[in-house]
């Protein structure tokens, strides 16, 4: 049986529709390799709208960079993601997650849940400027994923999230270990891959952000200098 990674990497992308609520071109597609197929999201770079505060690079590369951080930290909270060619040019391709519609996200997001706490740590690392409630993807088997990580890794602190329930709480030993391990990875060959996806200044800011989290030893608190919660929150 062909792995999902191989299908997503080498399969033919067949676009079936567009998610109209997205501000950038977000296409629903099937990735087919031989007789096997998986559902995915395809965001071509050509369909991105320029953002004044993210003038360099592209959102697709930031999405892939966020996926790599999730894997480097062994969190595995971003669906399988890669950069590749498609029918509308190079872009981000991400495995589709079937969410559990029995879960009320408006209630779920504010709970003291270990997976949400992992997401909050991840967002602090990647400097996520847009963690909305609707960007949480809980599956029926209990596994939680997060999506839409295009506006991340800014060189200035711009954390905007709905996940503030652990603000100022002390990191666990496991969380500190994940941060320390990530610093080591960034200094190795995999770190070079990440460095190619964001700007030099953003990569330096990423390392400094991790170091600052380790020094403080606790989750960040909302800043008074910018909106702490994205709008709309959902």
176, two tokens: 């500190």
Residue 133, domain member (yes or no): yes
Indicate whether 190 pLDDT > 90.
no
Q: What is the mean pLDDT of residues 45-57?
A: 85
- Range of the structural domain that residue 41 is part of: 4-216
User: Is the pLDDT score of 171 beyond 80?
Assistant: yes
Report if residue 41 sits inside a domain: yes
Which pLDDT value is given to residue 202? 96
Give the H or E element holding residue 173. Answer: helix 173-186
Is residue 224, in this structure, part of any structural domain at all?
A: no
At how many degrees (to 10) do helices 59-72 and 173-186 cross? 120
Q: In this structure, is residue 227 part of a structural domain?
A: no
In a domain, 188, yes or no: yes
Residue 73 lies in a domain: yes
Nearest by Cα to 146 from 175, 126, 174, 166: 126
Tally of domains within the chain: 1
Is the pLDDT at 23 greater than 90, yes or no? no
């Amino acid at each position: 049986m062909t792995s999902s990674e191989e299908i997503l990497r080498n399969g033919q992308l067949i676009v079936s529709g567009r998610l109209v609520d997205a501000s950038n071109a977000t296409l629903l597609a099937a990735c087919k390799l031989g007789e096997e197929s998986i559902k995915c999201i395809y965001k071509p770079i050509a369909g991105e709208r320029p953002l004044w505060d993210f003038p360099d690079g592209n959102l697709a590369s930031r999405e892939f960079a966020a996926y790599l951080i999730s894997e480097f930290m062994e969190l595995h909270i971003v669906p399988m993601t890669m950069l590749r060619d498609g029918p509308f040019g190079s872009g981000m391709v991400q495995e589709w997650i079937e969410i559990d519609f029995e879960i009320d996200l408006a209630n779920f997001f504010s709970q003291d849940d270990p997976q949400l706490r992992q997401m909050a740590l991840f967002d602090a690392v990647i400097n996520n400027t847009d963690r909305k409630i609707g960007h949480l993807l809980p599956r029926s088997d209990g596994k939680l994923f997060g999506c839409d990580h295009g506006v991340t890794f800014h060189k200035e602190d711009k954390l905007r999230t709905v996940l503030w329930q652990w603000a100022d709480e002390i990191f666990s030993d496991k969380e500190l270990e994940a941060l320390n391990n990530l610093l080591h990875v960034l200094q190795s060959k995999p770190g070079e891959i990440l460095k190619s996806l964001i700007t030099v200044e953003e990569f330096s800011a990423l390392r400094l952000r991790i170091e600052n989290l380790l020094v403080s030893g606790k989750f960040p608190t909302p800043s008074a200098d910018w909106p702490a919660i994205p709008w709309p929150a959902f």
